[in-house]
Structure 1
Amino acid sequence: MRNHHTTFLCVVTGISCFFLGAILQQHVSIRNIKNIMNVDPYIFNCRRKLLFALALLGEKRKTGVSFTPIEPQCKDVDSVLGCTLFWFRLQCYKVFSFFFLNIKADEEQPKLSSSHLADIMKYGFPGLDDIRVYKSFVLSYDRRHRIAHWVCEHLRAECITTPLASDAPTKPSRGDQSIPVMFRATTQDYKYSDFVEGHLAAPNNYSCDTVQYNESFLLSNIVPQNRIMKNYVWQRLEEYVRQLTLKSGSVYVYSGPLYMPHRINFRNWAVRFTVIGMNTVAVPTHFFKVIISEHKNPGALPYMEGYVVPNAAVDKEIDLRSFLSDIRDIEHFAGLKFYEGVRRSMFNRP
């Protein structure tokens, strides 16, 4: 009889230790993912898949990435044994969390803390090629063309309304030292060309912070633009985004280049574009802006719209609404996917 009791106790002890060890390992793994994803955009982008894979003792919330203990749902279980296992699983988690993880039994596990990267990339990454994170924006760099694939920024009304200090140390356009020299554009590439330096993330969006303002002059954020288009249509579009920010308080903007095809004969199309400088910096045929304006009223749907502007001399007084474009067309020609993981029915459209 004693042998049976000893065997039973050994089995129970082994199962309990394994179960508690799994809980501890889950907690440590989730904590490490939280720390890493704040600085690594690739980990941040696939955080939901990683956390879902670690959801051994918790279930994923539909509205976020936090985890809560599984509540026993006896009505969904076919047997009494299944319901009992649910209850036992929950109680073990609460006891272990209270004594070892310093989490009260009646409280939810804390949500993932918001980070700088999470704030800017709230609506997802359009692409994951050579991601670079700055204080004012996040961009994907195109090493072949020496310009960005896309730039994402989060504009706030309080930053736009704050003027840049008159004695603030500003810096001119300069190469991005974080990019390898062989893939980096320089100011000399623009010096003797027919195009001027245009910004994807506009400097005037960051007058509240000198560091953010100066970051916008990195050549990784600069593209070759037609002078007339930049000085009139593109600047008016940037001003429209700022006015929209003042109205709504929070606006997310994706900007980037497009290389649009044109017909060369009845059956064939071609993509042709100019390059400038010794570093062969590509001159896009068009530029896009995808705008997401959040509503001040809680629960209201955000408003989104997209613009495509040709990189050529256009009428200075042309209505900006004439450049409105379907988001799917921008995705098709840019090779990007906006609002990854977000239902498009969650947005209002023009």
Structure 2
Amino acid sequence: MSTYVAVALCAISGVSCFIIGALVQQHLSFRKIKSVMVTDPYVYQCRRQIFSSLAMFGRSSEKLTTSAETGHSISGELEPGNSRGFSEGQDPGSVSTFDHFVLWGRTTAQKAISYMTLSVAQNGHPQEKLEHVAGIMKYGFPGMDDIHVYKNFVLSYDRRNRIAHWVCEHVRDECLMSRDQRTLNKPNAYIADTAIPATFSANMRDFKNTDWVGGHMASPQNYKCDSVKFLEAYKFSNIVPINRGLKNHIWFRLENYVREMALEYGSVHVYTGPMFMPQRITFRNWSVRYHVMGMNTVAVPTHFFKIIIREDRFNSELPIMEGYVVPNTYVDKDMDLRSFLSDIRDIEHFAGLKFCDGQQRDQLDLPVRAPSMSDLQND
């Protein structure tokens, strides 16, 4: 009889140790993935598949929340309509089984303490904001070519053309309303980006004796609250050749419009990038023609796009999107910005990118006619 008891105890101990070891290993793996995806956009992009493959007992697919007494989400996800920051939240499936037990223990202890002391639990905790790729790329990656993460914007770099494919930034009102004294003086020259090999990057010599000047995809005027963010906007990876007249008038007004939207709605997400539009040669033949400048053959885009995304106060399911396309040439400075409104699907088609689905502003604002791409062709 004692032999059977010993064997049973050994079996139970072995199974228990195996389960505990598996739970600890899963917990450590989850922590490692979360620490890596803060700075690695590729891991962040496929995080749901990774968490799903590491799930145990089906628990990781659940969204753990506290009871109605506490009233706040343990998973810490960003609440609908709150576009001011991205909390240190967990995606559905990103909580390990070990964390489930820990959170359950905390919740139970909080209930017990509240009951014994006859105190009322707080209705919520201020969610901690994180400055990392998850908050900036809330609406997804348009493309995944050569991603580079900076303090307040993310870009995809085109080594062949020596400019960015796209730049995504999260413009917040609190940064626009404050000013760092170190940002009063801008740099005398653009800054070399050490993350980009010098062979595939532009330099100041490429802009000499040309008809174009350096334009910012992510405007440094959006980051006067932080000198580091301000200087990052002057890196060559964020610079693109732009017509001087366009930069000083229409493009400047469009950047100001973005800041006005951020001040009105708290924050906006903005995608900006170059476009190389085809031109008709004959009746059935089209060609993409664009200039290159300097010894590094930096490509000069024919057009630029800017997509502004904000959350609708009355419909939290779909964000409101505005897409603008402007030609890289001199444009009458008195033109209405609404005349550059364009269909998001056309921008996706010609830029080769994919943006999130949302309600377009040109479908809501009936007096505005969204011009077709043919209306914006260069002569």
Superposed displacement of residue 266, structure 1: 2.3
Tell me the distance in 2 between the aligned counterparts of 1:337 and 1:300: 19
**Partner residue in 2 for 1:73:** none
Aligned position for 1:65: 91
Report the alpha carbon displacement of residue 60 of structure 1 after superposing the two structures with TM. 2.4
1:189 to 185, 200, 206: 206
Q: Which segments of 5 or more consecutive residues in structure 1 lack a partner in the other structure?
A: 71-89
Q: 1:227 to 1:170 in 2, by over 3 A?
A: closer
Normalising by structure 1, we get a TM-score of 0.81
Instruction: Determine if the alignment matches structure 1 residue 26 to structure 2 residue 43.
Output: no
Q: Does residue 130 of structure 1 match 2:156?
A: no
Unpaired segments ≥5 residues, structure 2:
64-76, 78-89, 110-126, 363-379
What's the CA shift for 1:334?
A: 1.3
Match of 1:53 in 2: 53
Q: How far apart in 2 are the matches of 1:208 and 1:260?
A: 36
In structure 2, the residue matched to 1:272 is 289
Instruction: Indicate the percent of aligned positions where both proteins have the same amino acid.
Output: 53
Instruction: After TM superposition, give the deviation of residue 300 of structure 1 in Å.
Output: 7.5
Of 316, 332, 337, 2:354 maps to 337
Which residue identity lines up with residue 204 of structure 2 in the other structure? T
Shift of 1:162: 2.5
Q: Does the CA contact (< 8 Å) of 2:168 and 2:269 recur in 1? A: yes
Q: Deviations over 1:136-165 (max 9, x none)?
A: 311111111000111111111121122452
RMSD: 3.0
- Matching residue of 2:197: 180
For residue 59 of structure 1, give the secondary structure of its aligned residue in structure 2. helix
Aligned-partner residue type, residue 60 of structure 1: S
Q: C-alpha separation between the residues in 2 aligned to 1:134 and 1:237? A: 23
Question: Is residue 236 of structure 2 the alignment partner of residue 219 of structure 1?
Answer: yes
Aligned to 1:246: 263
State the TM-score, normalizing by the size of structure 2.
0.75
Contact 1:190 1:197 in 2 (8 A): yes
Distance 1:206 1:114 in 2: 17
| Cross-structure match for 2:343 | 326
Contact 2:180-2:227 at 8 Å conserved across structures:
yes
1:284-299 pair list within 5 angstroms: 284-295=301-312, 299=316
Do structure 1's residue 281 and structure 2's residue 313 form an aligned pair?
no
Which one-letter code corresponds to 2:165 in the other structure? H
Secondary structure of residue in 1 paired with 2:154 = strand
C-alpha distance in 1, partners of 2:183/2:360?
42
Deviation at 1:189, TM superposition (A): 0.4
Amino acid in the other structure paired with 1:38: V
Contact 1:274 1:282 in 2 (8 A): yes
CA distance in 2, matches of 1:138, 1:122: 11
SS of the equivalent of 2:249 reads helix
Structure 2 distance, partners of 1:249, 1:239, is 15
Whichever residue aligns with residue 176 of structure 2, its letter is I
Look up the equivalent residue of 1:152 and give its one-letter code. Answer: C
Distance change in 2, residues 1:181/1:167 (3 Å): closer
